[in-house]
Amino acid sequence: MTLPLLPNSLTDGRPTMLGVLGGGQLGRMFVHAAQSLGYETVVLDPDRHSPAGRISHHFIEAGYRDPDGLRELAARAQAITTEFENVPAESLAELARTRPVAPPAECVAIAQDRVREKAHFARCAARAEQAPSGPGGVAPAPYAVIETEVDLSAVPDALLPGILKTARMGYDGKGQARVATRDELAAAWHGMGGVACVLEQLLPLAFECSVIVARGRDGQVVSLPVQRNLHRGGILAVTEVYEGNVPPALARQAQAATIDIANELSYVGVLCVEYFVLQDGRLIVNEMAPRPHNSGHYTVDACDASQFDLQVRTLAGLPLPPPRQHSAAIMLNLLGDLWFDAACAPRPLPWADVLALPGAHLHLYGKTEARPGRKMGHLTFTGPDAASVRERALRAAALLGIEAF
């Protein structure tokens, strides 16, 4: 399936149009990146007020499984991507019958199922360990799959205490429960409706990190720097990216493992893989997101090619020069809780004071209603070194009422 590389390259003179299944903030930032290269965009989303739909050239108000909406998207767009992990893989497969689609439906299906995802990670780690050289494989935490009462009874004692996670539809800490005993495990599994789950051994965690790569149809892969992440309540709160944020050898291992994961999937598009770093220095792979990721938002301001620029390039078949980070960066996630005081009354936020700080880059997503836990925007600080960006990010956190880090 041939895709025109550049805008206005079709024989009838119409601009090349790129499609997005999903209208959230990741889609919005993809649309900005596509439009900066001259592409037109079309977004399909059930919400007519979606962040991406409000700024796209064209908008299709339809559900993600709606046959008419999918046909219209395929008719308008020369290539199609998605912007959230729970998009129906079947819809991507249907679109791929007539249009280039990235990421591939099968890769999205694997990422949506923790059982298949962990099996893929384990295979990649085993292959890497057999390689004659390199940083070595990165395996998932010890785990067991629980789909039946028999599986529940057969869970090894060594996996407790652990974290029980639903195999599907879990994100931002949803569909998870910490369990210390067999009774707690049984209660949690039944409380989740007895659906397929994965029980992971609880390991001594030092910190978390993530790696974002972009892979083209020709197999070329480029990697962004390793991001050090802090989560609160299962939601990303802070990302720090600068020299020395993680030990160099560990960073090389994480990047190599992420590239292996993408290559083994024959992945096309932008892929984020999240890791745990244990107190003994070992690296454990946690999960992957088949799309740009919250931890990569800093790239818009701190790199010469953002994760969204890379998403456009992989979708349109453009070259993938290695991205370069030119500034130290810290990103603060802005959740809807900030828009309310302790009594849950709406409150004004001191944006003027925040934007007076050097290196401040505010990105609000155009959402019309603030709600607790809802991602409303992000705030990135850039500067020449880690110390300066950290000092300014902490000052902004104090101004906004965000917990220090």
* pLDDT tens track for 8-63: 554 445 568 999 999 999 999 999 999 999 999 999 999 999 999 999 999 999 99
Please say if the pLDDT value at position 4 is more than 60. Answer: no
Q: What is the pLDDT of residues 195-254, one digit of tens each?
A: 999 999 999 999 999 999 999 999 999 999 999 999 999 899 999 999 999 999 999 999
Among 168-172, 205-209, 311-315, 357-361, the range scoring the smallest mean pLDDT is 168-172
Please say if the pLDDT value at position 90 is more than 50. Answer: yes
What string of DSSP letters covers 132-147? SSSS---PBPPEEEE-
Q: Which two tokens stand for residue 9?
A: 């390259």
SS3 48: coil
> What contacts 342, CB < 8 A, 6 or more positions away?
none
- Distance separating alpha carbons of residues 152 and 211, to the nearest angstrom: 33
Please name the residue that has the structure tokens 């965690």. 205
Which residues is 239 bridged to in the sheet?
A: 229, 331
Parallel, antiparallel, or unpaired: how do β-strands 40-45 and 17-21 relate? parallel
Q: How many CB atoms lie within 10 A of CB 203?
A: 16
Q: What is the reported pLDDT for 129?
A: 80
Q: What is the reported pLDDT for 11?
A: 42
Burial class (CB in 10 A: 0-12, 13-18, 19+), 369: exposed
Q: Rounding to the nearest 10 degrees, give the CA dihedral for residues 298, 299, 302, 304.
A: -170
What string of DSSP letters covers 53-103? TTTSSEEEE--TT-HHHHHHHHHH-SEEEESSTTS-HHHHHHHTTTS-BSS
Record the pTM: 0.94
- Distance separating alpha carbons of residues 378 and 389, to the nearest angstrom: 15
Give which of 176, 348, 386, 139 is closest to 254, Cα–Cα: 139
Q: What is the pLDDT of residues 113-122, one digit of tens each?
A: 999 999 999 9
- Distance separating alpha carbons of residues 165 and 175, to the nearest angstrom: 6
